[in-house]
Amino acid sequence: MNNTEKRPYEILEKYVTMSADEFVSYDVEKDCIDQNTGSDYKADVSIEAMTIAESAYSPTFRDFFDNGTWNLVPQKTMTVNGQNGQKIVLNKEKLKYEFVYRKVVEKDYSLRGDTMNTATITNAEYRKLNNTEELPDEAYGLMDLYHTAGNFFLVPYKNGHSLTLSRRETGPSRGYFDLFLLAVYNFFSGKTDYTGSLASVLKDEGLADFYKRYLTERFVTNNVLSWDKYIEINYLQDYVEGSKENGYGGPIELWPGHFTGKVMPQTEEEFILFYNNAADRIRKRGKRIYLVLKKKMTNIAKM
Per-residue pLDDT tens over the stretch 106-131:
466 777 778 889 888 899 999 999 99
Mean pLDDT of the chain: 78
Residue 82: what pLDDT? 44
Give 74-113 as a DSSP string.
E-SEEEEE-TTS-EEEEE-GGG-EEEEEEETTS-S-EEEE
Specify the pTM: 0.83
Per-residue pLDDT tens over the stretch 241-298:
999 899 999 999 999 999 998 999 999 999 999 999 999 999 999 999 999 888 877 7
Per-residue pLDDT tens over the stretch 173-198:
788 999 999 999 999 999 888 778 88
**To the nearest 5 percent, what fractions of the chain are helix, strand and coil?**
50, 15, 35
Residue 34: what pLDDT? 60
Distance CA 222, CA 211 (A): 20
Nearest to 128 by CA among 256, 260, 264: 264
Per-residue pLDDT tens over the stretch 39-88:
566 677 676 776 777 667 665 444 454 445 544 444 444 444 444 445 44
Helices 205-218 and 177-188 sit at what angle, rounded to 10 degrees? 70
Give the chain's length. Answer: 303
Per-residue pLDDT tens over the stretch 206-233:
888 888 988 998 888 888 999 999 999 8
Distance CA 217, CA 92 (A): 31
Distance CA 43, CA 224 (A): 34
The full set of domain ranges for the chain reads 3-302
pLDDT at 236 over 90: yes
HSE-up (13 A, CA, CB side) for residue 18: 20
Per-residue pLDDT tens over the stretch 139-160:
999 999 999 999 988 887 776 6
Residue pair 258/179 in contact by the 8 Å Cβ criterion: yes
